[in-house]
Structure 1
Amino acid sequence: MAYDLEEQEQLASLKAWWAKYGNAATWVVIAGLAAYSGWTGWNYYQRTQSSEASALFDEMQGAVGKDNAKVQRAAADIESRYGSTVYAQMGALTAAKSAFEAKDIKAAKANLQWVIEHGNEEYKALARVRLAGVLLDEKAYDEALKVLGGDVPPQFAASVNDRKGDILAAQNKLAEARTAYQAALSGIDKKSPARQLIELKLEAVGGTVPEEKPAAAA
């Protein structure tokens, strides 16, 4: 089909634009397609990783309380192959508990340390509290307090202060222990089952449990 004059002018302009910018435009399109392909491929990879890690985690849970060696192998497998998934963090915490109950303290500490180094903020905080508890049992008080240093998500502040109180009480630093337990009480929900235990510990180091303020009249 023959082009009319206006179409010929438009075609000439397009040819001129392409001669000047066509190569760059091609690369922009290619880069966009590559980015999209990479994004979809990454999502597929992540889904596959999570699915495989979940299956290993379920298998590991079946060995908890029965075969600590199998639990440790499964946790190491998940960490090495699926370390970017949440199952690696969950697996390490589960393996730490299994090792502790099997009196394999070295493995328990190693698993907790892995979570501290590789986990998200919530799992890191939980691992720090648990590792500090293990160190408390070993009477490594200064190291335990060091593990608890630094910021934690607000929902873990009470647990961290409670553990600090335990360590300070074990060191016979009763005034500091009272302060830690009081901080724990101020940050814990009044309906939490752990609250009563913290109150008992506070009283045991000479502290006074604060009285609850009566609810304001409507």
Structure 2
Amino acid sequence: MAKHLDLEEQEQLDQVKHLWQRYGNAITWVLILVLAGFAGWNGWQYWQRSQAAKAAALYDEVDRAARAGDTARLERAFGDIRDGYGNTAYAQQAGLVAGKVLHEKGNADAAKAALGWVGEKSSDPAYQALAKLRLAGLLFDAKAYDDALKQLGGSFAGEFAALAADRRGDILAAQDKKAEALAEYRKAYAGLDARSGYRRMVEVKLNAMGVDPTTTASTTTTGAAK
């Protein structure tokens, strides 16, 4: 009986050897690829965490410089985070902070550059929209109307679309293009939440142009009901 079992075991071993000789190299390479992929994934995760931690430290430096009103230090810190970790959310937030503070401190060119970078490079639609709206505002103040309108081209997500329309209305009104401005203000009014204080501001602009948007909306609704 023992001898019979020994023969079966020998046959099984022979089959394993045969299979290994035939498929051993392929199995080995599959294992190597799987392990390499696992190691690579872990390495990528570690690198991502490391990048985020370094970017966070630099963002703290940007924030401290902004609070202190130290524009030279702010520009250096923003340059470091932009150049080293530009694909992180921290860098894009830093650009918005830098743009705001540099504008407040009278450094218009640096403010425009920071906001322009966020508007162009950010992968986050909200950061991108904020940067373009703020930059359009700076350009509007500088009477660079065509450049301001370029920042407001394309699509804006959600309520940002209404804010962009309102800003386009301001620019067009400044260019004495009343009909175009009125159309943009109407878009803004329609796109803003009825409870929004900003909507009231747009309503005031429409009233100043001889339009009551509440009456228009009511008339439109009545007409549709008929």
Fold in common (TM above 0.5): yes
Match of 1:142 in 2: 146
1:54-85 deviation line (CA, Å, top 9, x unaligned) = 22212221222521111111111111122121
The one of 26, 33, 54 equivalent to 1:31 is 33
CA distance in 2, matches of 1:191, 1:171: 30
- Tell me which amino acid in the other structure corresponds to 1:209: P
Q: Please say if residues 178 and 206 of structure 1, whose CA atoms lie closer than 8 Å, have aligned partners that are also in contact.
A: no
TM-score (norm 1): 0.89
The sequence identity of aligned pairs, in percent, is 49
**Matched residue type, 2:195:** K
The root-mean-square deviation of aligned C-alpha atoms, in Å, is 2.0
How many angstroms does 1:17 deviate by? 2.4
**CA offset at residue 206 of structure 1?**
3.1
TM-score by length of 2: 0.86
**Contact 1:168–1:176 (8 Å) recurs in 2:** yes
Q: 1:101 to 1:7 in 2, by over 3 A?
A: same
Q: Which amino acid in 1 is paired with 2:55?
A: A
Q: Is the 8 A contact 1:136 1:144 kept in 2?
A: yes
Q: 1:181 maps to which residue?
A: 185
Would you tell me which structure has more helix in proportion to its own residues?
2
1:13 CA displacement: 2.7
Moved more, 6-15 or 139-148: 6-15
Corresponding position of 2:112: 109
Q: How far did residue 90 of structure 1 move?
A: 0.3
Where structure 2 has 5 or more consecutive residues not aligned to the other structure, the ranges are 219-226
Question: Equivalent residues in 2 for 1:81-160 (5 A)?
Answer: 81-120=84-123, 121-160=125-164
Instruction: State the alpha-carbon separation in 2 of the partners of residues 154 and 190 from structure 1.
Output: 15
With over 3 angstroms needed to count, the CA separation of the structure-2 counterparts of 1:138 and 1:12, relative to structure 1, is same
| Aligned partner of residue 191 in structure 1, secondary structure | coil
- Amino acid across the alignment from 2:161: A
Match of 1:216 in 2: none
**1:10 partnered with 2:26:** no
For 1:152 and 1:15, how far apart are their aligned partners in 2? Answer: 65
Provide the rounded CA distance (Å) in 2 between the counterparts of 1:155 and 1:28: 50
Secondary structure class of the residue paired with 2:213: coil
What is the one-letter code of the residue matched to 2:198?
A: A
